[in-house]
Structure 1
Amino acid sequence: MLVLVHGGLWDDGMDAERFWGRTGVVAGVRGAGLTVWAPDRAMRAGSWAAEAEHLAAGLPDGPVVLVGGSNGCSAAVRLALAVPERVRGLVLAWPATAGDARVDGRLPAELAPLLAGGVLRGVADEELTGLRMPVAVLPAVPENPVHQRRTADGLLAHVPGAVELPGCPEPPHPLFRPAGLVAALAAFAAGC
């Protein structure tokens, strides 16, 4: 089973349906013969750990492959660290860049606690080295200020054995097309 953790950071109107549903990802994954669950994140949570707790409460039975998109990568990693026995694989798609003053400076001050971290918001780099499940990183192509290539490279360098999947624009970007992403996710899940 794939569990899709959507992006957004306290964005009004950003939910699983907008990020994964309307963009064709959920339908594509189902069309590829996979079971999928795309929950809504606790969008106004005060910490990534609180988001992980919210997601863990609804996790389906059995091991899952987590797919985090954009800021959802932080929630997915926190979940994988909290319940590693429930996660058989982890995909970090279009990981949001941490520590860029230009990007962070445009966000409300109340989000500051969520912006801290190492390579990835909400996660210390030492924690990334502790991930023991198969991990794949999918960069944003083309990169943009929120999803910089350096973030994908940093994750590939810190997570033992992490592999890179072919990049693409992130949903709901107008250039996003689900077919390549769905094929990459299906192939990765089959290998976990």
Structure 2
Amino acid sequence: MTATALLVHGGLWEAMDAAAFWGTTGIHEGLTSYGVEVLAPDRPQCASGWDVEVEALGEQLAKRAGPVRIVGASNGCTVAVLLALKFPEVVDRLLLAWPATGDDAAANERARAGLVNRGCPPDAAESLLAGGVLRGVTDQELAGLTRIRVAVLPSVPENPSHQRKTVEALLQSIRGSRELAGCPEPPTPAFRNSAQYLDQLVRTIVEFVN
């Protein structure tokens, strides 16, 4: 059976889309070359809340019998978790890649300033950044991800927006989760300039979704 992977790209209230994150970096093509069916929708830009994103991307899952494996990236990990919780009969595996650090005051202050500078209303920015280990997700919700296979892929090297402590907190919070080989997050130059990272990432995702 062909594996189906729903890719949820990174970004938060900015001009990031699936083509820039998964397409031009070669990840989409790499996965399909291994026979993976890829769903790579655009997240709604300038969404006022995580519920808006879950509703929009949930259309990709509502019409499927499953199973679907979700790969969330950076702030897209929030959407990925919420989708897995909303569609338990469809989603059976969840990969949290380069999870954005949400439980750090300095990281949230930088993110808040960036959101407001890009036109996000302050109240919406506060709502988007609220949460626990992951923004928009309670730690109790994370602990509830026990019935599906969960893996975490760290940003290597870590950086202020994607810290190692977030990976460790996720592994501790989600019983049975495991860590996969990390790499720089796309579409940063560190990732785009290394064919080795692309090959490693594609193989890691293929192994997980299959």
RMSD of the alignment, in Å?
1.2
CA shift at 1:5, angstroms? 0.2
Aligned counterpart, 2:150: 135
- CA contact 1:99–1:115 (8 Å) conserved in 2: no
- CA contact 2:155–2:163 (8 Å) conserved in 1: yes
- Give matches, 1:154-165, under 5 Å: 154-165=169-180
Match of 1:81 among 78, 85, 110: 85
Match of 1:28 among 30, 38, 42: 30
1:160 partner SS: coil
Structure 2 stretches lacking a partner, 5+ long: 117-121, 192-196
Aligned mates of 1:147, 1:73 — CA distance in 2: 12
Structure 1 stretches lacking a partner, 5+ long: none
* Residue identity opposite 2:185 in structure 1: E
2:7 partner SS: strand
Aligned counterpart, 1:8: 11
Higher mean alpha-carbon deviation, 33-42 vs 44-53, is at: 44-53
Aligned counterpart, 1:103: 107
- CA contact 2:8–2:71 (8 Å) conserved in 1: yes
Q: TM-score, normalised by structure 1?
A: 0.94
Aligned mates of 1:97, 1:178 — CA distance in 2: 23
Aligned mates of 1:102, 1:118 — CA distance in 2: 14
Aligned counterpart, 2:160: 145
1:150 partner SS: helix
1:44 partner SS: coil
Deviation sequence 1:11-38 (CA, Å, 0-9, x none): 12x0000011011100000111211111
The runs of at least 4 aligned residues of structure 1 exceeding 6 Å deviation read: none
Which protein is bigger by CA-based radius of gyration?
2
Q: TM-score, normalised by structure 2?
A: 0.87
- Give matches, 1:49-68, under 5 Å: 49-59=51-61, 61=64, 62-68=66-72
Aligned counterpart, 2:119: none
Identity of aligned residues (%): 53
* Residue identity opposite 2:40 in structure 1: A
